[in-house]
């Protein structure tokens, strides 16, 4: 059976920020900054934020 790449077609850092969001080590404010810097797209940011955010650090909006 072949492995499925769930991040296929996404920005280079999408997977990194996706998992950081899930464990709470990236904030809402930081995700917006990463969009401004071109590391992820606005659509990817919205998609990531549809998931519940972890609680490693308090969120900053």
Q: What would the pLDDT profile of 4-51 be if each residue is shown by its tens digit?
A: 788 999 999 999 999 999 999 999 999 999 999 999 999 999 999 999
User: What is the pTM assigned to this prediction?
Assistant: 0.89
Q: Is residue 42 part of a domain?
A: yes
Q: pLDDT value at position 59?
A: 96
Domain of residue 18, residue span: 14-49
Count of structural domains, the chain: 1
Q: pLDDT value at position 45?
A: 98
Cα distances (Å, whole numbers) of residue 3 to 7, 26, 51: 12, 27, 23
Which residues, in sequence order, are CB contacts of 36 under 8 Å at separation 6+? none
Q: Is residue 60 part of a domain?
A: no
Q: Is residue 31 part of a domain?
A: yes
């Amino acid at each position: 059976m072949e492995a499925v790449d769930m991040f296929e077609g996404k920005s280079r850092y999408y997977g990194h920020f996706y998992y950081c969001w899930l464990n709470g080590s990236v904030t809402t404010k930081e995700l917006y900054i990463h969009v401004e810097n071109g590391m992820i797209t606005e659509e990817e940011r919205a998609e990531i934020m549809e998931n519940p955010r972890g609680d490693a650090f308090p969120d900053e909006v």
